[in-house]
Amino acid sequence: MAEFKLPDVGEGLTEAEIVVWKVKVGDVVAINDIIVDIETAKSIVELPSPYAGTVTALMVAEGEMVPVGTPIIAIGDPSAAEPVEPVETPEIDLSNPAASGGGEGESLVGRNKADRGPIRRARKVSSGAVAAHMQAQAAFETGAAPMVEADEEPVPSVTPAEAAPVAVRTLAKPPVRKLAKDLGVDLSTLTPTGANGTVCRADVEAAAGSEAAGVSRQAPKGPSSTTGERETREPIKGVRKMMGQAMVQSAFTLPHVTEWVTVDMTGTMELVDRLKARRELRDVKVSPLLVLSRAVILAMRRTPEINSWWDDAAQEVVFKSYVNLGIAAATPRGLVVPNIKDAQDLSLVELAGALAELTSVAREGRTQPAEMSGGTFTITNVGPFGVDGGTPIINPGESAILCFGAVKKQPWVVDDEIVVRQVCTLSLSFDHRHIDGEKGSRFLSDVAGILEDPGTALLY
């Protein structure tokens, strides 16, 4: 039997979350079959099987975060399996043995084999209760999961003489374990009422009978239609955790300056309508974001500092002759910023195709770490949410970010007359250590000028 250990799928990965298993125990897999989706600090990644054979154990439950190098699945040779005659299964609590006093601080992730002793899978029914117990213990100890379903295979009946003491650990998710620890509740004394025999938050609070439980469960004073839990908690992990750390580092290490400009987008909106009718652009999405992306690339030619980076360690400003254009994308699992490599070399048709592919992959949560590394400038588009603008935080490793607001019909003065025009707001945040106000203002003005009159792009 071979154990597949969680690999490092991207630059210095230390841990990942098991999102969803694509196989179950008993399935036969071939080499390179997709067996699981994992979420790293940057994206969701599909893992192919390095082995061929039958899945004998899923060692980590969905939703669990495990370190690189942790065994996550066992795959064996189908011909090596021995038939086991089904017999009556006794009622035995095969709980995780890490939990005395709540067990919040203990984890089975990454335990050394020396710590847990040799483990062998029982091959014959006659091996009795000890072999059955070792099977269950192996499934939990190598699984590294607070919530793992009991082995579905028949377990031989146990006589009192054969029975060995079984360490009991009630099944519960990490947030529930923490609540039990905070309230001083021993999980092993509770009767589980949650799914799959797990202890839920309500079980802990009911058992606590303390002021803490009352605060979280007491009904609000006066009329209320609220039902169920008044608070829920969601672990900070994966993409959301990485994004939070990156934004804090950027916000408090770079001196941000933000400038705003209101733009008459009527000329750009008319250009978008004309481009949509072009035969070569019929198969791609043409939007104001496409025109803005091209305007950004062109405006950088006059202000290269926008596409540079302050290397604090080397005390140098690094000017880049290429543009890896990042597009911030909101996904259900957090904000990601994939970038279009060498965007300066793409034609308008190629840029449109690259934008469409980038956003589609991001929405599906399939953006890979390599697609988010090496960015030089970022556009964040808040227009689809009806937002006019904001003060965006610079993406780490870059020096500027442009916020693209909603395009709306507004009154506008043209030749001393008030007319209805398509108007939007652009806001640029930049690193004031090496981009002074003059350079930031010139870049923003150039971008606005191209959007107001796309024909001026011929001047760049």
Active site members = 432
CA distance 107 to 29: 29
The alpha carbon dihedral of 157, 163, 164, 170 has a sign of: positive
Indicate the helix (H) or strand (E) that contains 413. strand 408-414
SS3 452: helix
Separation of first and last alpha carbons in the chain: 64
Phi and psi angles of residue 67, each rounded to the nearest 5 degrees, phi first: -75, 155
> Are 98 and 107 within 8 A, CB to CB?
yes
Contact 172, 198 (CB under 8 A): yes
User: How far is the C-alpha of 430 from the C-alpha of 437, rounded, in Å?
Assistant: 9
How far apart are alpha carbons 339 and 374 in whole angstroms?
8
CA-to-CA distance for 35 and 40, rounded, in angstroms?
16
C-alpha to C-alpha distances, 290 to 9, 45, 55, 297, 346, nearest whole angstrom: 32, 28, 47, 11, 12
Assess contact for 86 and 101: CB atoms under 8 A. no
Task: At 154, list the tokens.
Answer: 């028949």
Low-confidence ranges of the chain (pLDDT < 70): 10-12, 41-42, 78-169, 209-228
What's the rounded Cα separation, in Å, for the pair 440 and 319? 15
Helix (H) and strand (E) counts in the chain: 11, 18
Tokens 């690339």 belong to residue: 297
C-alpha span between 444 and 260 (Å, rounded): 8
pLDDT at 40: 78
Q: How far is Cα 326 from Cα 343, in angstroms, rounded to an integer?
A: 10
Nearest to 407 by CA among 284, 275, 289: 289
* Surface-to-core class of residue 264, CB atoms within 10 Å of its CB (0-12 exposed, 13-18 middle, 19+ buried): buried
Is 89 exposed, middle or buried (CB count within 10 Å of its CB: 0-12, 13-18, 19+)?
Answer: middle
Please work out, in degrees rounded to the nearest 5, the angle formed at the alpha carbon of residue 220 by the alpha carbons of 218 and 225. 115
For 193-223, give one letter per residue: b (16+ CB within 10 A) or e. ebeeebbbbbbbbebbeeeebeebeeeeeee
Question: Which residue has 């890490």 as its token pair?
Answer: 98
pLDDT of res. 149: 38
Q: With 0-12 CB in 10 A as exposed, 13-18 as middle and 19+ as buried, what is 126? A: exposed
Using CB atoms within 10 Å of the CB of residue 294, give its burial: 0 to 12 exposed, 13 to 18 middle, 19+ buried.
Answer: buried
Q: Which domains does the chain have, with CATH numbers?
A: 2-141 (2.40.50.100), 175-235 (no CATH), 239-459 (3.30.559.10)
Q: Can you state the percent helix, strand and coil of the chain, rounding each to 5? A: 35, 20, 45
